Amino acid sequence: MNRTALFAFAVFVFGSGSVRAGADEGMWLFNNLPLETLKNRFGFEPDAAWSEHLMKSCVRFNVGGSASFVSSDGLVLTNHHVGSDTLFKLSTPERNILENGYLARSNAEELPAPDLELNQLLNIVDVTDRVNAAVKADMAAGAAMLARRETIEAIQKEALDQSGLRSDVVTLYGGGRYHLYQYKKYTDVRLVWAPESATAFMGGDADNFEYPRYCLDACIFRVYENGQPAKIEHFLKWSQAGPAEDELVFVAGNPGRTSRILTVDALKYQRDVRMPFVMNLLRRREICLQQFGLNGPEAKRRARDELFGIQNSRKAYTGMLGGLQNPAIMAAKTAAEARLRAQLKADPKLAALDSAWDEIEAVVAQRPDLLVKTPVVNSRLFEIAEEIVQMLEEDQKPSGQRLPEYGDAGRESLLQQLLSDAPIYADLETALLADSLARLAELRGGNDPMVEAVLAGQSPADRAASAVAGCTLADVAARKALIDGGIAGLSSCKDPMIQIAIAIDPEIRKYRKVADELAERERQAYAKIAEAQFATAGASTYPDATFTLRLAFGTVKAYDENGQRVEPLTDIAGAFNHQDTHPGQDDFQLPRSWNDAKGRIDGATPYNFVTTCDIIGGNSGSPCVNQNLEVVGLIFDGNIQSLTADYVYTDEQSRAVCVHSSAIREALRTIYNASHIAEQLGR
Amino acid sequence: MNRTALFAFAVFVFGSGSVRAGADEGMWLFNNLPLETLKNRFGFEPDAAWSEHLMKSCVRFNVGGSASFVSSDGLVLTNHHVGSDTLFKLSTPERNILENGYLARSNAEELPAPDLELNQLLNIVDVTDRVNAAVKADMAAGAAMLARRETIEAIQKEALDQSGLRSDVVTLYGGGRYHLYQYKKYTDVRLVWAPESATAFMGGDADNFEYPRYCLDACIFRVYENGQPAKIEHFLKWSQAGPAEDELVFVAGNPGRTSRILTVDALKYQRDVRMPFVMNLLRRREICLQQFGLNGPEAKRRARDELFGIQNSRKAYTGMLGGLQNPAIMAAKTAAEARLRAQLKADPKLAALDSAWDEIEAVVAQRPDLLVKTPVVNSRLFEIAEEIVQMLEEDQKPSGQRLPEYGDAGRESLLQQLLSDAPIYADLETALLADSLARLAELRGGNDPMVEAVLAGQSPADRAASAVAGCTLADVAARKALIDGGIAGLSSCKDPMIQIAIAIDPEIRKYRKVADELAERERQAYAKIAEAQFATAGASTYPDATFTLRLAFGTVKAYDENGQRVEPLTDIAGAFNHQDTHPGQDDFQLPRSWNDAKGRIDGATPYNFVTTCDIIGGNSGSPCVNQNLEVVGLIFDGNIQSLTADYVYTDEQSRAVCVHSSAIREALRTIYNASHIAEQLGR
């Protein structure tokens, strides 16, 4: 891989995405699709019904992924690695669903997920004017933040009361626009089918973010209403043959976060401070979870899901940071910013906007301290304790004045998570808490008053062991009793995890306040930068990703790497060959179901493919559809060259990686004896 | 394990080791043995011949371990993990000695190590007065450091010229004493026998620093002179039965470093700054090496030896830091320091010494910046390039004014390492260099001038790839030519690794100068603290470890953990049981040689045992002997409770872990068909 070549020859689009001819860039809002571009470049003119059908066929997994309805009776298709949180929670030492897969032979065998919430987007309303009207020009950042927060909560609560729909106000263009997103919620979600992790994640950490690939990174859920499979009006059909090379395709999903609007100062902070800091944390957790797994097969099973997520993030961050450390990228970003600022200064109507970059510089200078001081504790029991403590405290205030996550509008979703009966493993909790407490002591020093209060005279390891052993919150009833007891019961609560949360909470709040105020200042500054871009780009644009529904377009397309053409499609025979060429490497061994079916399945069946669609983390599980809105693939990864997409998109080598629709159908039929599911796809 | 209990009930000996009755503390100088203690507590009175024989039977591995002569014709016993550097260098893809072991059936089959230097200590002379005479009271730290360095180099050079022996001046008591150590060097060292790593390191990272244990962490070399097995006058006999429980035993070896003299300010710096910083580096290297190993079995083999060392350090540091983060330990250290300082202030003759603590506080405050800014690059090719660049520059000066490692006295040993033909793997080098360059950019920021010069416009990964691909220094002849070309050839050298070294060297030198001056100020301050301890402890003391020969004493002793008695000895049958109780865990599977021999070997043969002897890293491979100077064991580890020994010794639970002499003899005879070696042991 020659990444210098990639960036040396690419033209950088900086900030947000003013579309250049030839570039398949953009994570487009469903209420502002790139219709002109699609018409001009591809001769394709989707109508309103097309986009409404696609929008309503999409499903968001609130744990951090995307999905789609693929049958009239509620089948939901997503990635194995998006479903894995649920697969893990449904697993036991005796029935390791995450590792060995699952197939429901009938509706009765479909397994209810303990705490999934799926969202179907029904409606988008621009509420920018109302949100901005609440903020007066002379307000300090803190007051502006509170006024904005109160208005947003009021809009959400009104919308919820009127419609009964989950109603979220989304900040777009870094603060340039505010849109109200309204979702139908599905909370009775059941597992229908999942393959073995060995095939879903073939090649493991080594192949992750690489291409060619051979992964069946798919699983299928079904949504229920009133105890019956839900009747779904908008669902996607299943393509007969999948996509042809160079065919126009679309990805509809929820990209989590991009930072393409960031100023050079903000990028340098990411490069020199935040990303190295986060990577130290990721490596630390990776080692901690690996060490825990050494205690035996059951310990390894308990740690596996979180370990996978950490390794995935660590590899992604490595690629992202590598991009930012490339002098050519930073030089291009710097030059683009200088050009834009020069353009503003030359135009009296726009010159005032230039101060936004200085404001970002000032905000960024305050971030390193915030990063180090904000307490982070990685333990589910601690999270539960901290949420209960904060909720009981926040509930003393009117909804609009609370921290947003404790407002009335979101209470139902909050409680669903907080009262989940997903298993909590005391041994794993102890290991993770010990590591988190040690890290707190490292970052703040062993003589920091909060650290001393938390440790209560014990070493981090001993304090973690005693706190987990004495904690009652693994029991959902104990959580409920504590919540019902209200603020009065909190002060007399003897639970050591609650006591730790009470010791840490003032510092969490202190730095949360700093963070919120800095974020408000950034919103105001980036709103100006967005305005500058609207004014100078002269074309439609898309905002940075916000884990809300977006449309990306592109083609199924080969690329060059080290002078070699990388074919856009792999096939099933390639998976067996990939196994055979990696003897003695566990991560490359297909499960028994595959090796048993080798003689029966058609090796020429297409397996994985790549497209130029502009995606990022959060898009995992997104449907890839053709112009007729038939599923042709399932997004599950980006190649290594795509990892800089957080900051910059190029379609020279950057590719989104999909499971081919035919591979899913054929695997269900031939490998998993699940024709009854295969027959339902698209019907 | 309840580590709070351990430390809450222990009495702390702070600073250096004034011996309390009952404590088996101390890493004693061979020219100042604790004869009084041995006589009073054990009724044992070793004479001068005893200590001379033991001293001359010991061998130091300069790669960082200990060993002993165990036969008249040059057999040297050490740990598998001390020999592993050589086992790795002797391995090839086809003959993986590190993993699969080795046995020479005759002298002709003994394999020459590419670059081992073994040292046998022959002589110790106190040169404190001469070293201190060079430093005048009114000298600034920089001048004092240079004057001291020049005198030390002169002493070493004189001693070398007079005796032909390797002559090292060692700084003891943090600067309170200077002793000249003179060694006979052995550089023709050949591998005789090594077992499989699966038995040497049974239980892997999970069992490391734990007890009970079942490890044959041993291997045997032979020293040669003039092409023949060396005739050895001082070697250890082999015990017939090994040690009995509670028997007095001794460990003679080279503990690497302890920090028991550190002030509380220095300990807080270790706890809050240095150790977290080092652990981030260790975790980073661990992940980097693991990732590299994912490329396949050969990559895994190439990374394994360094990965083992990193994991070992990471686990040790975790335990050490956990101890320092224990409020009880720090409180005890603080109280002891306050008592000592109060004692000084109350005594007019000693009161002036108290300023030493303030001086350490001032020095410590300058260390964080030094830590972050000092360039560290983990690549063998870079090390070679940097050493050549520095050596050619330093050689422009008289020997006494050079950086000490480039003085004439040590040139032969330096060149042996620098011109070693041990294999260098370009793929591994590229991965490690890329990670090091990325880390340099993170620590100094991407716009740091040195970083920009090193990267030369490329991303860290691309720069590493091009530098390794273009580097000629894997070839020993190219190194030699460059050295022979002298300083004149350097400036025209096109080798990219040399160019990177030239770009980094000024910064290495800049921070080396700061570090040397801080070290000089610390030496002067700790010399005062040592003086304060000599004056108040009223008993013989031992200095902190310096990777020079020390004697520890103790008994073979059970201990309590979580209320359970941990037996001091394990046996061979236990190893098979340990395998059987960890199914599916690769690290617990004995090699085929063991499973084949299960019916033949006596399961009751003692295998590993623990003693209270005060050891630390560097002691690995040390002989454990009885009063008759017969080998009863081979040190290979400490238990987890011993990991705070860097700062504090207790014998409540802290134990040194040994391979039992009988296990080594019986394994050679019965498992490895190596009776010809077993018969030579002790003869």
**Would you place residue A21 in the very low, low, confident or very high pLDDT band (cuts 50, 70, 90)?**
very low
The mean pLDDT of A163-168, rounded to a whole number, is: 96
In three-state secondary structure terms, A666 is: helix
Give the burial class of B512: count Cβ atoms within 10 A of its Cβ; 0-12 exposed, 13-18 middle, 19 or more buried.
middle
The DSSP code for B670 is I
Cα B139 from chain centre: 33
Of B322, B441, B445, the CB nearest to A461: B322
Contacting residues of A for B330, CB less than 8 Å apart: 446
Rounded Cα gap, residues A187 and B408, in angstroms: 77
pLDDT at A651 over 90: no
Contacting residues of B for A433, CB less than 8 Å apart: none
pLDDT at A1 over 50: no
Rounded Cα gap, residues B545 and B571, in angstroms: 32
Which parts of chain B sit beneath pLDDT 70?
1-22, 538-539
- CA nearest to B8 within chain A: A458
Q: State whether B3 and A462 contact (CB < 8 Å).
A: yes
Residue B288 has which token pair?
């980097």
pLDDT tens by residue, B618-627: 999 999 999 9
* Nearest by Cα to B412 from B182, B164, B179, B222: B164
pLDDT tens by residue, B155-200: 999 999 999 999 999 999 988 899 999 999 999 999 999 999 999 9
Contacting residues of B for A445, CB less than 8 Å apart: 268, 271-272
Contact, B404 vs B168, CB < 8 A? Answer: no
pLDDT tens by residue, B581-632: 999 899 999 999 999 999 999 999 999 999 999 999 999 999 999 999 999 9
**Would you place residue A584 in the very low, low, confident or very high pLDDT band (cuts 50, 70, 90)?**
confident
pLDDT at A332 over 60: yes
pLDDT of residue A6: 23
A324 touches chain B (CB under 8 A): yes
Contacting residues of A for B458, CB less than 8 Å apart: 4, 326-327
Contacting residues of A for B585, CB less than 8 Å apart: 294, 296-297
pLDDT of residue B294: 94
What is the pTM for the complete model shown? 0.91
Instruction: State whether the Cα torsion B198-B204-B209-B214 is positive or negative.
Output: negative
pLDDT of residue B16: 32
Task: Check residues A365 and B648 and name the one with the higher pLDDT.
Answer: A365
Give the burial class of B295: count Cβ atoms within 10 A of its Cβ; 0-12 exposed, 13-18 middle, 19 or more buried.
middle
pLDDT tens by residue, A152-162: 999 999 999 99
Q: State whether A286 and B291 contact (CB < 8 Å).
A: no
Nearest chain B CA: its distance from A225 CA (Å)? 43
Contacting residues of B for A457, CB less than 8 Å apart: 327-328
pLDDT of residue A10: 23
Of B2, B205, B458, the CB nearest to A294: B205
**Would you place residue A539 in the very low, low, confident or very high pLDDT band (cuts 50, 70, 90)?**
low
* ipTM of the complex in this document: 0.90
> Cβ–Cβ contacts within 10 Å for residue B101, how many?
22
pLDDT at A17 over 70: no
Give the burial class of A234: count Cβ atoms within 10 A of its Cβ; 0-12 exposed, 13-18 middle, 19 or more buried.
middle
The mean pLDDT of A425-444, rounded to a whole number, is: 98
> Cβ–Cβ contacts within 10 Å for residue A296, how many?
17
Give the number of beta-carbon pairs within 8 Å between A and B: 134
Cβ under 8 Å to B: A residues 278-307 = 279-280, 283-284, 286-287, 291, 294-297
A309 touches chain B (CB under 8 A): no
Cβ under 8 Å to A: B residues 542-601 = 582, 584-585, 587
Q: State whether A446 and B4 contact (CB < 8 Å).
A: no
Cis peptide before A212 (omega within 30 of 0): yes
The mean pLDDT of A672-680, rounded to a whole number, is: 97
A93 touches chain B (CB under 8 A): no
Q: What is the residue type of B401?
A: Q
Mean pLDDT of chain A, nearest integer? 93
How large a percentage of chain A has pLDDT more than 70?
96
pLDDT at A538 over 80: no
Rounded Cα gap, residues B578 and B243, in angstroms: 23
Task: Check residues A466 and A11 and name the one with the higher pLDDT.
Answer: A466
Cis peptide before B212 (omega within 30 of 0): yes
φ and ψ of A422, to 5 deg: -55, 140
* Pure H helices in B58-121: 80-90, 97-100
pLDDT of residue B537: 76
Of B205, B268, B459, the CB nearest to A325: B459
